[in-house]
């Protein structure tokens, strides 16, 4: 990392943020103080609810109604609270660039990328309409969007999450900002796409002398890409550290806990005695028709190609790979949400290759295999309380149960996932992300399944909540004997929970076996590339070619593997 320059671009001086409603007045951020210097990358790290995003939105003027901000926020020395409204809008528009966690939520799905980019250039940057398209193509090219002219004609649904994030970064460059506010911009991305996005930002910082406030719950990532790190907990800044040597310098117990949570457990799981598999997948193939690259007709996209593996009763198997590797499609076929074109899925000796017919068949399969998805908020009915959701699930699988039995079973499920019974009467919006995911796990357990399929079930959670949920799942597996099939882009997450792992790329299995072999002694270049992409001290993000559209970069000289007891 470069040395910190002296000029201060952004300063927060004893900033506090409180709800202004008299009936529920609470201070959510207490005396937050930090400085970002010209050309510097400052990480703002903490769990969900720590106040890091609220602080950033206060800088950008994006707090919703009902919040009061105290203290001083300065941009290039100008106190924002003293500026007239027109000047305040101009300062924020021209000096701040902000990129959010979910780019799809900020793009109109019916308009093209070109519409979005040119509108930003004309309405915000004042570009002439006839020159805006060419300028937009230049910006997309600068952030590494391949074939930017063609991408201008595409809609958000045609682009991957990583490409959409680059589009959002390109749009923020229209005003040539002094500082980039990056709020959890890689949270939902796989490790190689995360590396690509961070490499783009590193290039922009270098070439544009761009400062960055990097908001994340991933302390190792912040330590790898930032110059300094500010740690927040429960609305307070608890520690400021240089990124280099952060593990050795950390002194606050909360920071130490965050660092510990980001490290894999120092345990190599035994593979155990081979048993008759509860799940066997053999020669699985699935194709989709997609719009042709030139816009005429359709092409065949092979999502899963000759995939095969086995899962033992009570075992735990992880399937890892980048976005588009075919891992989620494989899981959806197993759970009957997609049909395979070829191959077979056998569960307890029964053919599950095709989706079940009729409600009775689907219900019978649901008693054997249940799926937990990535976003618990979308998985839960916002109108139902926790108790209502779980009661409905129990009643579905115990149709003859009376009220007393239903209530007892719901209480048992809440206890199984370590949720306080006092939360049973709350709606999903009143729960944290980790609590919501525990509810979806409890709902899945209502069927008393023998297989639990976890599709990126912890990827949106902060690191300490991830550890809590993974520990919970491991305890459930050991106590109930349920087998776990975990779909993830995070090798460290899989290592915490699984005995064996399957590595997929472009629909194919490139490596599989016990965790101790695949992650400590990888043989496939692609597995080594995934391991190389995990942030760690001294890590420098590199631009790589997208997995589907180019040769895999040579990593044959890499010997990276996960060291015992630590992130590589």
- Domain encompassing residue 313: 279-384+449-533
pLDDT tier at 543, thresholds 50, 70, 90: confident
Q: For residues 16 and 27, give the distance between their C-alpha atoms in angstroms, rounded to a whole number.
A: 7
Are residues 364 and 470 both part of a single domain? yes
Are residues 206 and 309 both part of a single domain? no
Max CA pair span of the chain: 73
Q: Is residue 225 part of a domain?
A: yes
From the number of C-beta atoms within 10 Å of its C-beta (0-12, 13-18, 19+), residue 407 rates as: middle
Residue 260: pLDDT over 90: no
Please state the rounded mean pLDDT for residues 397-415.
Answer: 93
Are residues 307 and 370 both part of a single domain? yes
Are residues 317 and 370 both part of a single domain? yes
pLDDT at position 24: 66
Are residues 360 and 459 both part of a single domain? yes
Span of 92-106, 255-269, 284-298, 480-494 with lowest mean pLDDT: 255-269
Question: Of 227, 262, 297, which residue sits at a domain end?
Answer: 262
Report the CATH number that the domain containing residue 56 is assigned in CATH: 3.40.50.300
Strands 500-505 and 316-320: parallel
Residues 102-131 pLDDT 10s = 888 889 999 999 999 999 899 877 888 889
From the number of C-beta atoms within 10 Å of its C-beta (0-12, 13-18, 19+), residue 246 rates as: buried
pLDDT at position 109: 92
Residues 128-184 pLDDT 10s = 888 999 999 999 999 999 999 999 999 998 888 889 999 999 999 988 999 999 999
Q: Would the CA dihedral through 388, 389, 394, 397 be positive or negative?
A: positive
C-alpha pair distances (Å), 267 with each of 229, 369, 475: 29, 28, 15
Q: Is residue 200 part of a domain?
A: yes
Q: For residues 514 and 270, give the distance between their C-alpha atoms in angstroms, rounded to a whole number.
A: 8
Domain count, the chain: 2
pLDDT at position 267: 52
CB 491 within 8 A of CB 191: yes
Q: Please list, in sequence order, all residues whose beta carbon lies within 8 angstroms of the beta carbon of residue 13, skipping any fewer than 6 positions away.
A: 33, 71, 72, 73, 74
Are residues 231 and 294 both part of a single domain? no
Tell me what percent of the residues of the chain surpass a pLDDT of 70: 90
Question: Of 234, 262, 290, which residue sits at a domain end?
Answer: 262
The H or E element that residue 28 is part of is strand 27-37
Q: Is residue 307 part of a domain?
A: yes
Neighbours of 180 (CB within 10 A): 24
Backbone angles phi, psi at 353, to 5 degrees: -65, -35
Q: Is residue 474 part of a domain?
A: yes
534 or 227, greater pLDDT = 227
Are residues 250 and 314 both part of a single domain? no
Which candidate, 295, 302, 451, places its Cα nearest to that of 365? Answer: 451
454 or 269, greater pLDDT = 454
Q: Is residue 21 part of a domain?
A: yes
Which candidate, 90, 154, 146, places its Cα nearest to that of 116? Answer: 154
Q: Is residue 201 part of a domain?
A: yes
pLDDT at position 6: 55
Are residues 197 and 329 both part of a single domain? no
pLDDT tier at 431, thresholds 50, 70, 90: confident
Question: Of 228, 262, 296, which residue sits at a domain end?
Answer: 262
Q: Is residue 41 part of a domain?
A: yes
- For tokens 């995911």, the residue is 437
Tell me the Cα Rg of the chain: 25
> Has this prediction a pTM greater than 0.85?
no
pLDDT at position 369: 95
Please state the rounded mean pLDDT for residues 295-309.
Answer: 85
Please state the rounded mean pLDDT for residues 18-37.
Answer: 86
Q: What is the mean pLDDT of the chain?
A: 87
Span of 75-89, 280-294, 307-321 with lowest mean pLDDT: 280-294
Residue 200: pLDDT over 60: yes
Alpha helices by DSSP H, listed for 296-426, are 327-334, 358-366, 376-379, 386-397, 403-416
Phi-psi label, residue 321: left if phi above 0, alpha if psi -120 to 50, beta otherwise = left
CB 483 within 8 A of CB 466: no
CB 88 within 8 A of CB 61: yes
Please state the rounded mean pLDDT for residues 303-315.
Answer: 96
554 or 496, greater pLDDT = 496
Residue 566: pLDDT over 50: no
Q: Is residue 539 part of a domain?
A: no
The residue ranges of DSSP E strands in 279-379, in sequence order, are 279-291, 298-311, 316-320, 342-347, 350-351, 369-372
Are residues 251 and 312 both part of a single domain? no
Are residues 301 and 250 both part of a single domain? no
Please state the rounded mean pLDDT for residues 213-231.
Answer: 93
Q: Which two structure tokens, joined as six digits, stand for 433?
A: 């992300």
Q: For residues 337 and 184, give the distance between their C-alpha atoms in angstroms, rounded to a whole number.
A: 30
Residue 304: pLDDT over 90: yes
Are residues 224 and 321 both part of a single domain? no
Are residues 491 and 518 both part of a single domain? yes
The H or E element that residue 338 is part of is none
Please state the rounded mean pLDDT for residues 471-493.
Answer: 92
Q: For residues 30 and 21, give the distance between their C-alpha atoms in angstroms, rounded to a whole number.
A: 17
């Amino acid at each position: 990392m470069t040395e910190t320059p002296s000029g201060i671009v952004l300063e927060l001086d004893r900033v506090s943020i409180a709800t202004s409603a008299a009936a529920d007045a609470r201070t959510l951020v207490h005396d937050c103080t930090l400085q970002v210097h010209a050309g510097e990358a400052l990480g703002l790290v903490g769990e969900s609810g720590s106040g890091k995003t609220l602080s950033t939105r206060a800088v950008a003027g994006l707090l919703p109604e009902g919040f009061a901000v105290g203290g001083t926020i300065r941009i290039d020395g100008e106190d924002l609270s003293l500026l007239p409204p027109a000047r305040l809008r101009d300062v924020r528009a021209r000096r701040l660039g902000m990129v959010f966690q979910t780019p799809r939520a900020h793009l109109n799905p019916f308009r093209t990328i070109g519409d979005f980019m040119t509108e930003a250039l004309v309405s915000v940057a004042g570009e002439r309409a006839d020159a805006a398209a060419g300028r937009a193509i230049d910006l997309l090219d600068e952030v590494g969007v391949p074939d930017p002219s063609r991408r201008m004609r595409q809609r958000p649904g045609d682009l991957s999450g990583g490409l959409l994030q680059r589009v959002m970064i390109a749009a923020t460059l229209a005003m040539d900002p002094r500082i980039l506010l990056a709020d959890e911009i890689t949270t939902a991305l796989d490790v190689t796409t995360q590396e690509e996005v961070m490499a783009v930002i590193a290039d922009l910082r270098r070439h544009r002398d761009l400062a960055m406030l990097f908001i994340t719950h991933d302390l190792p990532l912040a330590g790898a890409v930032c110059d300094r790190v500010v740690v927040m907990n429960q609305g307070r800044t608890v520690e400021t550290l240089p990124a280099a040597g952060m593990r050795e310098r950390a002194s606050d117990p909360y920071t130490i806990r965050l660092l510990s949570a980001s490290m894999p457990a120092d345990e190599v799981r035994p593979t155990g005695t081979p048993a008759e598999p509860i799940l066997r997948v053999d020669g699985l193939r699935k194709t989709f028709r997609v719009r042709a690259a030139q816009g005429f007709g359709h092409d065949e996209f092979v999502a899963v190609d000759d995939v095969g593996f086995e899962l033992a009763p009570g075992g735990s198997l992880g399937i890892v790979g980048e976005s588009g590797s075919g891992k989620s499609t494989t899981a959806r076929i197993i759970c009957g949400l997609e049909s395979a074109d070829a191959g077979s899925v056998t569960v307890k000796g029964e053919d599950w290759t095709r989706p079940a017919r009729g409600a009775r068949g689907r219900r019978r399969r649901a008693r054997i295999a249940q799926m937990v998805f990535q976003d618990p908020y979308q998985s839960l009915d916002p109108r139902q309380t926790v108790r209502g959701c779980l009661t409905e699930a129990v009643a579905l699988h115990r149709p003859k149960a009376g009220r007393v039995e239903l209530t007892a079973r719901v209480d048992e499920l809440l206890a199984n996932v370590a949720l306080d019974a006092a939360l049973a009467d709350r709606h999903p919006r009143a729960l944290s992300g980790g609590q919501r995911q525990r509810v979806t796990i409890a709902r899945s357990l209502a069927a008393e399944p023998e297989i639990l399929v976890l599709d990126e079930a912890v990827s949106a959670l902060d690191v300490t909540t991830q550890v809590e949920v993974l520990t919970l799942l491991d305890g459930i597996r050991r106590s109930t004997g349920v087998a776990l099939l975990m779909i993830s882009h995070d090798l460290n997450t899989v290592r915490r929970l699984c005995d064996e792992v399957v590595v997929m790329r472009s629909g194919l299995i490139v490596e599989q076996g016990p965790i101790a072999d695949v992650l400590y002694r990888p043989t496939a270049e692609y597995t080594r590339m995934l391991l190389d992409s995990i942030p760690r001290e001294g890590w420098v993000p590199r631009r790589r070619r997208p997995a589907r559209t180019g040769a895999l970069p040579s990593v044959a000289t890499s010997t990276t593997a996960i060291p015992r007891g630590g992130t590589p």
